[in-house]
Amino acid sequence: MAVTKNVKGTVETRIKNPKLVRKKHLLIAAKATKLFIKKGFSGTSMRDISRVTKITLGNLYSYIEKKEDVLCLVFDLYHKSWFKLLEKNGVYKIDDPRAQIHMAVHTLLLNCEAYQDEIKLMYLESRFLPKKSLKIAMENERQLILEFEKMIRRGMERGIFRVEDPFYAANMIVFQISVNPLRGWNLRDKYSYDKLVNLTESYILKALVQ
Amino acid sequence: MAVTKNVKGTVETRIKNPKLVRKKHLLIAAKATKLFIKKGFSGTSMRDISRVTKITLGNLYSYIEKKEDVLCLVFDLYHKSWFKLLEKNGVYKIDDPRAQIHMAVHTLLLNCEAYQDEIKLMYLESRFLPKKSLKIAMENERQLILEFEKMIRRGMERGIFRVEDPFYAANMIVFQISVNPLRGWNLRDKYSYDKLVNLTESYILKALVQ
DNA sequence: GAAGACATCGAACGTTCGTTATTTTTCTTA
DNA sequence: TAAGAAAAATAACGAACGTTCGATGTCTTC
């Protein structure tokens, strides 16, 4: 298993106190997220960020080097290691492939709920990340897909799943998990989130079993 | 069946000759699309648009009123009426619901191929549309979902499909059709487009049949 | 070919942008 | 509490932004 790299540590700073840096970086990322969601990365100015963080424009540049860095900080903040989340919830201990995938999807969906806007943001604004950070962010997702592919293959060997192409199916599953952040506008007012989770789970599983 | 409204006609111009307006609007939209894809709407300047269209900055404003109008022109250009596309391809004449949905998905997927970037663009930049235009754009998609819901219900009545919630399933199908533009980076180099179309079709159908 | 409508152009407007350099305040430590 | 380091605040830079305007060029029509 490849080590999950973190985007963190890419943003250089002029401030010496590391605790202070962490605190302000967190503040900047959290506040900037809301701005980026509303106005996009290019549409948000450093002065906007200065205003909402209450950090003076000049002082902001003590904690970052370029505007781009703010976007990196945002991605750091929400860059959960999905793989680790699955491990923590005991997904890999489940023997029955059906129950295992169900649990994996369930775990990720619940985790998505609190971060809908942020996930959408990462879909919309990832293209403005510096190449290096973008690669790291995509690697995380690729790894998640790989995990699903493994689970699907296990289910196929046991004759529980029947899928034309496990890699493609794994891609679809990860894609479908992001349906709520990306397409919620049409679904949210019709279903409760619990209902949505249920529907997504069974819809995904239905496409796997034979 | 509700009439499909068009975004067109919302952009006012100072030029009198309507043929000239149409021609230049087309040029502006086509060239701006590529810029918006690369740099986003906010990241693209009027001077950028002027440069690639070879229309002087001042003259550009003879054909539009605001920068926003360029985005509207882009949406006009690629705003296919999906519903009409299905009708044109004889989807509604197909009796067998399974074959019907298969044909509908197939038609849309093939039509997507040539417009991958543009579809992605509409996902990414629709939030910068003026409210009125945004509403029209979403109405088109809502209508497509409704059509799929109808087809699914027909299949359920005949005992061919078994779906927990037809409206949700219809949403998922439309979402899955856009998998290539939105997630192609992970799939495109592994599969040919034909293969991808095949996989998507059978994956969608598998989740419908009982 | 003169007149007048139409289209195009170049230059400029006032703002706002990302970023930096310098000064002022605050904190730490002896 | 003085001294020196660290952090914050201020003000400014040049460049680029969306938009406007008046002059210039190019057609049509008689």
DSSP secondary structure of A127-173: GGS-HHHHHHHHHHHHHHHHHHHHHHHHHHHTTSB--S-HHHHHHHH
Rounded CA-CA distance B36/B32 in Å is 6
Q: Give the one of B127, B169, B190 whose C-beta lies nearest to A203's C-beta.
A: B169
Percent of chain A with pLDDT over 90: 77
- Measured between CA atoms, how close is A143 to chain B, in angstroms? 12
Strand partners of residue A161: A209
Q: Give the one of A127, A183, A185 whose C-beta lies nearest to B175's C-beta.
A: A183
Rounded CA-CA distance B81/B141 in Å is 9
CA of B11 to C1' of C6 (A): 20
CB contact set of B130 (below 8 Å; sequence gap of 6+): B68, B72
H or E stretch including A109?
A: helix A97-113
Q: Which two tokens stand for residue A58?
A: 């000049």
Percent of chain B with pLDDT over 90: 76
Rounded CA-CA distance B72/B28 in Å is 11
pLDDT tens-digit readout, A117-145: 888 898 899 999 999 999 988 998 899 99
Cβ B98 vs Cβ B160: under 8 Å: yes
State whether residue A89 is helix, strand or coil.
Answer: coil
Distance in Å from the first CA to the final CA of chain A:
30
Contact B187 A171 (CB under 8 A): yes
H or E stretch including B11?
A: none
With 50 as the cut, is the pLDDT of residue B156 above it? Answer: yes
Cβ B147 vs Cβ B105: under 8 Å: no
CA of B101 to C1' of D18 (A): 47
Distance in Å from the first CA to the final CA of chain B:
30
Sign of the four-CA dihedral B198, B201, B206, B207: positive
- Measured between CA atoms, how close is A15 to chain B, in angstroms? 30
State whether residue B209 is helix, strand or coil.
Answer: strand
H or E stretch including A181?
A: helix A179-187
Rounded CA-CA distance B125/B129 in Å is 7
Rounded CA-CA distance A31/A55 in Å is 11
CB contact set of B128 (below 8 Å; sequence gap of 6+): A40, A43, B41, B42, B68, B71
Residue A2: predicted pLDDT: 36
Q: Per residue, what are the HEC states of B150-189?
A: HHHHHHHHCCCECCCCHHHHHHHHHHHHCHHHHHHHHHCC
Instruction: Mark the nucleotides of strand D covered by protein, meaning any atom under 7 Å from a CB.
Output: 6-12, 16-22
Residue A4: predicted pLDDT: 35
Q: How far is CA A44 from the centre of its chain?
A: 22
- Nucleotide nearest B60, from its CA to each C1': C8
Inter-helix orientation angle B193-206/B179-187, to 10°: 120
CA of A91 to C1' of D29 (A): 82
Contact B168 A191 (CB under 8 A): yes
pLDDT tens-digit readout, B1-19: 333 343 556 799 999 999 9
Strand partners of residue B161: B209
Rounded CA-CA distance A175/B92 in Å is 29
Sign of the four-CA dihedral B122, A143, A180, A43: negative
CA distances to A127, B69, B121 from B48, rounded to whole Å, are 19, 15, 17
Query: Which of A17-26, B110-119, B182-191 ranks highest by mean pLDDT?
Result: A17-26
Rounded CA-CA distance A161/B169 in Å is 20
- On whether the pTM is more than 0.85, the answer is yes
Instruction: Mark the nucleotides of strand C covered by protein, meaning any atom under 7 Å from a CB.
Output: 5-12, 16-22
With 60 as the cut, is the pLDDT of residue A167 above it? Answer: yes
Cβ B86 vs Cβ B111: under 8 Å: no
Residue B9: predicted pLDDT: 63
State whether residue A34 is helix, strand or coil.
Answer: helix
For A192, other C-beta atoms within 10 Å of its C-beta total: 9
Residue B33: predicted pLDDT: 95
With 50 as the cut, is the pLDDT of residue B123 above it? Answer: yes
Confidence of residue A1 (pLDDT cuts 50, 70, 90): very low
| B30 secondary structure, DSSP code | H
Confidence of residue A84 (pLDDT cuts 50, 70, 90): confident
Percent of chain A with pLDDT over 70: 96
Residue B5: predicted pLDDT: 40
Q: Read off the pLDDT of each residue in A177-183 and give the average, rounded to a whole number.
A: 89
